[in-house]
Chains A and B, each alone.
Chain A
């Protein structure tokens, strides 16, 4: 089972992101479960959503407490919420920011983590460019696909178009592709840098 926890703020499509990811996994023939953290919905309030992906029936109903991946949609949460609780050193971290991971001011939180699994992506900027609104959720799913290889870009693309119809779907799908390309090129850059 692969477990994802998404942190963001009300209005950023945190719950929608988990649902799209679950639909994409389902479309690839896998079992998936997405659910919100059941808070009172308020714009700007910290929101958490979860997605589990597995090849067999998912029975548990507990929140994701030991995620394999954490997606942070809003970088201002870094100083407010215990975002990485339960994350193992093999886990993936994807933060929506135009900074690099090393510029985020972490202390020793990520000592021993695999650096190639700690990724940032300027999803809000990508969304503004392609969607015209600062909604980073779809773009981050493209970045997630590139980072984790848990889901194909194609499946995210289809699921995003299922969720957002017409021109909005086109634009979000473009944001997905751009974020996927961004992370892929960053990964290749890192590989080149480490082999030199």
Chain B
């Protein structure tokens, strides 16, 4: 049923429709509303049978999910930012053990400086952990992806992370069509574990594996992710046939036919980019967008096919590798090997900085004129950076840069403040 609800609520209700048997989580902004809502459903008895386990940390949350999944239970958790980092060791273990846990990642920046707002640094930090990572563009897609995620995870015995932009999606109230239980039950069969801890039929899970077999174990995990490259579009198609909704899949093109410049991005910023593209199209610029839903596994062939007609590709990223540049850009560059396509990286929206349509139009304009630098930081205040560099050059004990920049900003705004005196 189509309802006007908060993104977190839509995800919580959809997760409940997936009949998780164990939910264990530790609250952290901006994931909190999801877990509160699931917990309330367990307490009220509307999500049953399900055990909601209050854990003392994110490390415990993932550890409990691992234990629950290994005993054959459908397990779910959610986190963000430092919470994900705190559970990092267990995140790798879940994937290494091949346990099909589903986790929502309400994308948030990583400190220091501490920052609760949205970017993709957290997802990128676990890029190589072996989890499948799917990025939602809208709350509708975030909700729908969870149903596909459980099916995909359990088919392949690989954990799946559904990434949704913190606050921008989790706290947005918009129309979401919540699936009905009958459909979810038909799409998502009961969990049939490939391995299960059972006292009646004992096995060991998590043995020490030396050089004699470790590489093979890792390679098998890689093959399962390659299998996912087939299964993700197949599940999206099956889902679309039943619901009429284009949720999931590897990637989606928007106005890329005849496009000279193509923007590539992940997550909710795609909406604003599409609006910018429509406006630049009206101005006669041949520009399109590719939104990547499946970041891991990375759909290299599909990306190559989608971008093959462009002369320039601009990757707009809410994360970057300090001392290098784009993260997604590196993957796109590998996919485009041997092709003469100009690649440009735009780092944007770090720590929740607004990515405006107007700024994106500027990026598109510059790309069309081939005036975009290889690496651009969108709306960066170069003057503030230069002032801090000057302070650092002027005195050894220049102090903490984060605090200096805040003070600098207060000073500037107090001298340019508008409004009634």
Q: Give A residues with C-beta under 8 Å from B.
A: 18-19, 22-23, 26-27, 31-36, 38, 40, 58-63, 65, 78-85, 105-107, 109
The 3 closest A-B pairs by CB, nearest first: A59-B271, A26-B4, A38-B167
Q: Are B269 and A38 in contact (CB under 8 A)?
A: no
Tell me whether A79 and B167 are in contact in the complex, defined as CB-CB below 8 angstroms, given that A23-B4, A31-B175, A62-B356 are known contacts: no
Chain B contact residues, CB within 8 Å of chain A: 4, 6, 116-118, 165, 167-168, 171-175, 268-269, 271-272, 274-275, 352, 354-357, 417-421
Known: A22-B4, A22-B173, A62-B354. A78 touches B168 (CB 8 A): no
- Chain B residue numbers with a CB within 8 Å of A23 are 4, 173
Partner of B175, one of A26, A35, A38: A26
A109 to B420, CA, bound (A): 8
Inter-chain CA distance A105–B419, complex, in Å, is 11
- Between-chain CB contacts (< 8 Å), 10 pairs: A22-B4, A35-B173, A60-B272, A61-B168, A61-B172, A61-B268, A65-B356, A78-B420, A81-B419, A82-B418
Across the interface, A32 reaches (CB within 8 A) one of B118, B175, B275, namely B175
* Bound: A34/B172 CA distance, A: 6
In whole angstroms, how far apart are the Cα atoms of A78 and B275 in the complex? 32
**Residues in A whose Cβ lies below 8 Å from that of B420:** 78-79, 105-107, 109
Shortest CB-to-CB span from B281 to chain A, Å, is 14
Q: How far is the CB of A41 from chain B (nearest CB, A)?
A: 9
- CB contacts (< 8 Å) of B173 on chain A: these are 18-19, 22-23, 32-35
Known interface pairs A35-B167, A36-B167; 12 further A-B residue pairs with C-beta atoms within 8 A, sorted by A's residue number? A19-B6, A31-B175, A33-B172, A35-B171, A38-B117, A59-B271, A61-B168, A62-B272, A62-B355, A80-B419, A81-B419, A109-B419
A129 to B117, CA, bound (A): 38
A61 touches B419 (CB 8 A): no
Contact (A61, B4) CB under 8 Å given A34-B173, A38-B171, A78-B420: no
Q: How far is the CA of A61 from the CA of B348 in the complex (A)?
A: 14
Give bound CA distance, A6 to B334, whole Å: 46
A60 and B275: CB pair below 8 A? Answer: yes
Expressed in whole angstroms, the Cα–Cα distance for A18 and B272 within the complex equals: 20
Cα A35 to Cα B8 with chains together (Å): 12
The answer for the CA separation of A80 and B421 in the assembled complex, in Å, is: 9
Chain A, residue nearest B168 (CB)? A61
User: Nearest-CB distance from B300 to chain A (Å)?
Assistant: 27
The listed residue (B4, B171, B174, B269) touching A36 by CB distance below 8 A is B171
List the B side residues contacting A85 at CB < 8 Å.
418
Contacting pair A79 B352 (CB below 8 A): no
Bound Cα distance A65, B167 (Å): 18
Alpha-carbon distance between A79 and B418 when the two chains are bound, in angstroms: 9
User: Is A32 in contact with B171, judged by CB distance below 8 angstroms?
Assistant: no
Chain B residues in 8 Å Cβ range of A34? 172-174
| Centre residue among A60, A63, A65 by max chain B CB count within 10 A | A60
